[in-house]
C-alpha cells in the first residue's frame, strides 16, 4: 500500500516555490502576517479551483472537515472564512499575477514545439478579450454599462499549446485597442486580431517593431490598389492585392504598403477580407492563420466552464483579480503537469480526476493514467436471463 504524499501536494510540487517566495517578498505580501501566509492563501484558492468550490464558506467547511490532512497539503494555518476573505481583499493581487507569469514562461518552454496546423517557425499569437459579468450592486467599482458591471480579461494566447502569454485584467470600460499600448511586440511573431483592434497608428508601431499582424478589414476601408498578385480561385481566394491607405488620417498613421486578401468561405457563404503587413507567406496561409484565431475563443469558453471565474469569493477589485490570477495559474499548472508527465488525457479529464482524488495517497502518475483499477466485463455469464427467448 502506498503511504506517501497526498495527490494535492504532488500537484503543488510543479510550482517553483522559490520563485513564489520572491514574488511575495517583492510586494511585501507576508508583512505583519503571523499565521495565514500567502502560500497558504494560494493553496486554499488552488484547492477551490481544483475541486470546484462555490464560496468561502464552502472552502472553509471542506478544509475543516479534513483538518488532519491540512499539514500534509502544505497548509500550516487553521482555515477560517474571515481570514481568507481578508487575505483576498488586502494582499496585493500582483503577487499572484507574477506567479502566473512565471508558470506561463515555464509552460511556453514546454510547449514551444507543439503543432497547431501550420508549419511556421515564427511564434503565432491570438489577441482578444472576454467580458466577465458582475452584479453592479455587489461590485460597484466595476461599472460597465448603466445597469451592468463587468471586468475584462485581455489575453495574448500562444497558439502552440494554447498557453496564455500575457493577461491583463481591466474594468469593462477599457477598450480592446488600449491593450496594444501595453503589448511588447516580439520581432518576427504574428499577431492575429479581429476588427476591434484596427488602429493604424498602433498597427504601424507593430510594423516598425518587425512584427506581423493579420486582421480583418472594415467595410469602409479607404485604399488604393497598387497591383494584384495571381491567385487560384478554386481555393476560395478572390484577390491578393498590394494597397495603400487613402483615408485622411489612416494614410498618415500607416504610410507603408499593406496586403489585402479576400476569401470566400463556401460553407458559410461569407466573404472575408484580411489585412496584413506580411508579403512573403502565401495568401491561403494568411487565411488559415486567421482561422486559427478561433482557438482563443475556445480558450475563453473552456476556462469559463471549468474554472471558477464567474462566481467570486470576494467583492473588492483586489479579491476579483486575485481569484482570476490564481485560476489562470491553476490552468497553466495543470498544463505543465500534463506535459511533464507525458499524459495523453485532455486538461478537462485531468481536472475531473484530480477533483475527486486530491486527498488520496497514491502516485500522481498512477492516479492520472489508471482510470479503472480492474477490467469490468459488462456481460456477466453468471447472470440469468430475465426472459427465456
| Residues 128/296, Cβ–Cβ less than 8 Å | yes
**pTM for the full predicted model:** 0.89
Q: Could you write out the DSSP letters of every residue in 84-123?
A: HHHHHHHS-THHHHHHHHHHHHHHHHHTTT---SS--SS-
Q: CA 293, CA 1: separation in Å to the nearest integer?
A: 48
The reply to whether 322 falls in a domain is yes
| Residues 46/5, Cβ–Cβ less than 8 Å | no
The reply to whether 60 falls in a domain is yes
| Residues 323/312, Cβ–Cβ less than 8 Å | yes
| Residues 164/104, Cβ–Cβ less than 8 Å | yes
> Residue 250 belongs to what domain range?
208-279
pLDDT band at 37 (very low <50, low <70, confident <90, very high): very high
For the beta carbon of residue 141, count every other beta carbon within 10 angstroms. Answer: 13
The reply to whether 355 falls in a domain is yes
The reply to whether 303 falls in a domain is no
The reply to whether 328 falls in a domain is yes
Strands 212-216 and 270-276: antiparallel
pLDDT more than 90, % of the chain: 77
**Final residue belonging to a domain, choices 279, 304, 325:** 279
13 and 86 co-located in one domain: yes
Task: Determine the pLDDT at residue 145.
Answer: 86
Q: Which residue would you say has higher pLDDT here, 320 or 377?
A: 320
The reply to whether 131 falls in a domain is no
Query: 213 in helix, strand or coil?
Result: strand
| Residues 295/314, Cβ–Cβ less than 8 Å | no
Classify each residue of 197-210 as buried b or exposed e, where b means 16 or more C-beta atoms within 10 Å of its C-beta: bbbbebbbbbbeee
On the question of pLDDT at 120 being above 90, the answer is no
> How would you write 320-332 as a 3-class SS string?
HHHHHHHHHHHHH
Q: Residue 14's closest CA among 346, 364, 385?
A: 364
Give the model confidence (pLDDT) of 166-204 as tens digits. 999 998 999 999 999 999 999 999 999 999 999 999 999
Angle of CA points 5, 11, 13, to nearest 5°: 80
Give the model confidence (pLDDT) of 296-351 as tens digits. 999 999 999 999 898 899 999 999 999 999 999 999 999 999 999 999 999 999 99
For the beta carbon of residue 50, count every other beta carbon within 10 angstroms. Answer: 21
275 and 323 co-located in one domain: no
Task: Determine the pLDDT at residue 34.
Answer: 86
Q: What are phi and psi of 334, to 5 degrees?
A: -65, -35
Task: Determine the pLDDT at residue 267.
Answer: 87
Measured in whole angstroms, how far is the alpha carbon of residue 296 from the centre of its chain? 8
Count of structural domains within the chain:
2
| Residues 287/261, Cβ–Cβ less than 8 Å | yes
Q: What are phi and psi of 225, to 5 degrees?
A: -75, 130
User: What is the average pLDDT across 42-69?
Assistant: 93
The reply to whether 120 falls in a domain is no
**Final residue belonging to a domain, choices 227, 260, 279:** 279
Task: Determine the pLDDT at residue 310.
Answer: 86
The reply to whether 49 falls in a domain is yes
Task: Determine the pLDDT at residue 161.
Answer: 87
| CA atoms 295, 300, 305, 308: torsion sign | positive
Assigned C-alpha cell, 258: 499593406
273 and 337 co-located in one domain: no
Q: Is 376 exposed, middle or buried (0-12, 13-18, 19+ CB in 10 A)?
A: exposed
Amino acid at each position: 500500500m502506498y503511504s506517501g504524499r497526498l495527490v494535492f501536494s504532488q500537484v503543488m510540487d510543479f510550482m517553483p516555490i522559490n520563485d513564489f517566495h520572491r514574488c511575495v517578498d517583492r510586494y511585501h505580501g507576508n508583512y505583519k502576517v503571523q499565521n495565514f501566509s500567502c502560500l497558504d492563501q494560494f493553496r486554499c484558492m488552488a484547492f477551490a479551483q481544483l475541486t470546484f468550490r462555490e464560496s468561502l464558506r464552502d472552502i472553509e467547511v471542506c478544509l475543516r472537515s479534513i483538518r488532519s490532512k491540512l499539514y500534509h497539503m502544505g497548509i500550516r494555518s487553521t482555515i477560517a472564512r474571515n481570514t481568507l476573505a481578508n487575505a483576498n481583499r488586502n494582499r496585493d493581487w500582483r503577487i499572484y499575477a507574477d506567479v502566473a507569469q512565471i508558470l506561463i514562461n515555464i509552460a511556453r518552454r514546454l510547449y514551444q514545439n507543439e503543432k497547431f496546423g501550420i508549419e511556421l517557425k515564427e511564434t503565432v499569437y491570438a489577441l482578444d478579450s472576454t467580458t466577465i459579468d458582475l452584479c453592479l450592486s455587489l461590485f460597484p467599482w466595476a461599472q460597465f454599462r448603466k445597469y451592468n458591471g463587468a471586468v475584462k480579461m485581455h489575453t495574448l494566447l500562444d497558439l502552440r499549446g494554447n498557453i496564455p502569454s500575457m493577461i491583463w485584467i481591466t474594468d469593462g470600460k477599457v477598450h480592446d485597442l488600449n491593450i496594444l499600448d501595453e503589448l511588447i511586440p516580439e520581432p518576427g511573431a504574428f499577431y492575429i486580431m479581429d476588427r476591434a483592434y484596427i488602429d493604424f497608428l498602433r498597427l504601424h508601431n507593430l510594423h516598425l517593431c518587425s512584427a506581423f499582424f493579420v486582421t480583418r478589414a472594415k467595410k469602409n476601408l479607404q485604399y488604393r490598389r497598387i497591383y494584384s498578385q495571381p491567385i487560384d480561385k478554386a481555393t476560395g481566394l478572390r484577390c491578393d492585392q498590394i494597397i495603400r491607405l487613402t483615408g485622411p488620417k489612416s494614410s498618415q498613421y500607416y504610410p507603408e504598403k499593406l496586403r489585402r486578401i479576400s476569401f470566400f468561405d463556401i460553407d458559410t457563404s461569407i466573404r472575408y477580407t484580411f489585412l496584413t503587413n506580411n508579403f512573403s507567406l502565401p495568401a491561403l496561409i494568411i487565411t488559415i492563420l486567421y482561422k486559427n484565431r478561433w482557438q482563443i475563443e475556445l480558450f475563453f469558453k473552456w476556462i469559463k466552464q471549468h474554472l471558477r471565474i464567474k462566481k467570486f469569493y470576494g467583492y473588492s477589485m483586489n479579491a476579483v483579480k486575485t481569484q482570476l490570477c490564481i485560476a489562470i495559474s491553476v490552468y497553466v499548472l495543470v498544463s505543465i503537469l500534463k506535459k511533464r508527465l507525458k499524459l495523453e488525457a485532455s486538461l478537462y479529464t485531468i481536472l475531473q480526476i484530480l477533483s475527486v482524488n486530491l486527498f488520496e495517497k497514491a502516485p500522481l502518475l498512477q492516479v492520472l493514467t489508471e482510470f479503472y483499477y480492474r477490467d469490468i466485463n459488462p456481460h456477466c455469464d453468471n447472470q440469468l436471463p430475465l426472459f427465456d427467448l
